[in-house]
Amino acid sequence: MRPDVQAFFDPATFTVSYIVADPATGAAAIIDPVLDFEPRAGGLSTRAADALLAAIAARGLTPRYVLETHAHADHLSAAHHIRGRTGAKIVIGARIVEVQKVFAPVFEADIAPDGSAFDVLMHDGESLPLGELTITALHTPGHTPACLTYLIGDAAFVGDTIFMPDYGTARADFPGGDARTLYRSIRKLLALPPETRIFVGHDYLPEGRSDYRWETTVAEERASNIHVRDGVSEDDFVALRSARDVTLAPPTLILPSLQVNIRAGALPPPTPAGHVFLKLPVTPLDA
């Protein structure tokens, strides 16, 4: 079956969020919603998330789930806000507990690193109903240990695992990431039927292209992905990915994002004076 897919592009973080709906029943899932954050002023807004909710209301859809492809390091998640507004359950890969165990101590976060901040933890091959459609989880680690791809009808929502063919693939140098694991996850994706629609989590406008894009197919990725098309060996990919990753700076919002996203998009609790603070760990460069 073919779900209805509506994309929302966030130019501040180059993130694509999706509303995925069952045409027969109007049951819907929201994938990777963005909470607007202005780091220089500490400003927070739900503008992007509220646009998703407005679209759902206008279409008469019923939001059942917020699907997180992983704990993002480049934007704050609006999952908690959407759950509060709609009652939709927040879903993420079961190995989020490994990510929480790494980052909760970094931020001295008062959360249990057991995944309980989320409503549903999915393992590889598990499924959830979405009206007459089915959401099936494919565990696709390598970018992070907890990365999931969500298969819904003829569509695969891959998060940061793979991007448009002319941009390539995700980095694999975050804690728990691994280029060899990423390659194997991508080959799992590329073994899906060639007509499968792939919806990516970001687009960064590679040189030579001026329009943002987020939909491709398994056949197009296999034919022309610049990092991992058919014929690229695992060793060649690991060498390419490793050489590229050492040149990349950390994402601008990595520190605010991770401490919120391991909480399923919830902010830390306010102080007795009513203020909410995000922490900025300081690491000596000569350490």
Q: Is residue 68 assigned to a domain?
A: yes
> Could you tell me which residues are beta bridge partners of residue 152?
135, 155
Which domain range does residue 80 map to? Answer: 4-261
Reported as a pLDDT band with limits 50, 70 and 90, residue 285 is confident
- The model carries a pTM of 0.96
CA angle 78, 163, 18 (to 5 degrees): 35
3-state secondary structure of 41: coil
CA angle 30, 126, 114 (to 5 degrees): 80
Interatomic CA distance for residues 208 and 188, integer angstroms: 29
What is the per-residue pLDDT for 251?
95
What is the torsional sign of CA 86, 264, 46, 50? negative
Q: Is residue 278 assigned to a domain?
A: no
Q: Is residue 28 assigned to a domain?
A: yes
Instruction: Domain count for the chain, please give it.
Output: 1
Q: Stretch 223-247: mean pLDDT, rounded?
A: 97
Instruction: Specify the CATH number for the domain of residue 58.
Output: 3.60.15.10
Percent of the chain at pLDDT > 90 equals 95
Reported as a pLDDT band with limits 50, 70 and 90, residue 1 is confident
Reported as a pLDDT band with limits 50, 70 and 90, residue 284 is confident
What is the per-residue pLDDT for 70?
97
* Cα end-to-end span (Å), the chain: 54
110-133 as b/e: b if 16+ CB within 10 A: ebebebebbbbbbebeeebebbeb
Q: Is residue 275 assigned to a domain?
A: no
